[in-house]
């Protein structure tokens, strides 16, 4: 039986007072447009929720979706949810976006699994993750750890809808970047630790993402070259082999 997989794209077009390197709203909007075009052109991605928290005009993004194939659905959500105080950090805003999307999205309300991706990025080989989710029997979340299991990679991860609701969203108030080790990545790591103590199943991502887009924290493009990806994929497979021993 095919699983209902929804892609959740999180977005902040105008970050205003939030401290971030890539903060020009026109640049960021163009990033979202470019990434969304990639997701629209990917025939394996059937359902998309685009959720934005600066209450910005989404007309240019919606115009990309005027002639969608019949099998593809896209839902746009926008609300005024910028961080107060902004020093709390973009991670808290990310949690608010996820929480708002799960409360208000019709597509998410019927989903089995959700792949969360930062909305300015396109993952060229996302189909590998979709295949892994379709084949899975008992895995609750796919997410890469780092820094001795104290932090995670958060621009892409995938989990059951019930997992988001029970473990990820409740850790919202743990995120406050004014304090050490209180960002989104740390909160997500702690949520996964908590869930595994309750017999839920975690796995690292089953692929090395090939990312097209620009890092918000560094304001420079991700390295998407084939050679770099091959190097990272060899590292991933080696690490996975060690973990499985």
Contact predicate 119/35, CB 8 Å: yes
Whether the bond between 70 and the residue before it is cis, its omega within 30 degrees of 0, is no
pLDDT of residue 147: 83
Closest CA to 116 of 136, 138, 91: 91
Q: How many Å apart are CA 173 and CA 178, to the nearest integer?
A: 13
pLDDT of residue 69: 86
Q: pLDDT-derived band of residue 224, with 50, 70 and 90 as boundaries?
A: confident
pLDDT surpassing 80 at residue 171: yes
Domain ranges within the chain, ordered by starting residue: 5-244
Total residue length of the chain: 245
Summarised one tens digit per residue, pLDDT across range 87-128 is 788 888 999 999 999 999 999 999 999 999 999 999 999 999
pLDDT surpassing 70 at residue 175: yes
Phi-psi region of 212 (alpha: psi -120 to 50; beta: other; left: phi over 0): beta
Global pTM exceeds 0.85: yes
Neighbours of 218 (CB within 10 A): 10
Summarised one tens digit per residue, pLDDT across range 56-76 is 999 999 999 998 888 899 999
Which CATH number fits the domain 5-244, given the four candidates 2.60.40.1930, 3.40.120.10, 3.90.550.10, 1.25.40.10? 3.90.550.10
Closest CA to 136 of 211, 198, 210, 200: 200
């Amino acid at each position: 039986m095919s699983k209902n997989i929804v892609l959740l794209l999180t977005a902040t077009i105008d970050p205003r007072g939030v401290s971030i390197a890539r903060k020009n709203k026109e640049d960021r909007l163009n990033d979202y447009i470019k990434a969304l075009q990639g997701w629209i052109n990917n025939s394996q991605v059937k359902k998309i929720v685009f959720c934005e928290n600066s209450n910005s005009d989404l007309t240019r993004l919606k115009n990309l979706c005027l002639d969608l194939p019949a099998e593809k659905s896209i839902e746009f959500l926008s609300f005024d949810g910028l961080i107060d105080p902004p020093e709390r950090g973009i991670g808290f805003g990310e949690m608010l976006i996820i929480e708002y999307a799960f409360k208000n999205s019709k597509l998410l309300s019927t989903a089995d699994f959700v792949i969360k991706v930062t909305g300015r990025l396109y993952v060229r080989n996302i189909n590998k993750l979709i295949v892994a989710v379709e084949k899975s029997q008992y895995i609750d979340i796919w997410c890469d750890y780092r820094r001795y299991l104290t932090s995670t990679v958060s621009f892409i991860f995938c989990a059951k809808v019930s997992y988001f609701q029970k473990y990820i969203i409740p850790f919202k108030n743990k995120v406050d970047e004014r304090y050490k080790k209180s960002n989104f990545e740390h909160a997500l790591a702690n949520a996964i630790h908590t869930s595994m103590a309750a017999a839920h199943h975690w796995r690292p991502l089953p692929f090395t993402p090939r990312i097209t887009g620009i890092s918000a924290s560094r304001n420079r493009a991700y390295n998407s070259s084939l050679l770099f990806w091959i190097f990272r994929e060899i590292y991933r497979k080696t690490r996975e082999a060690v973990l499985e021993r």
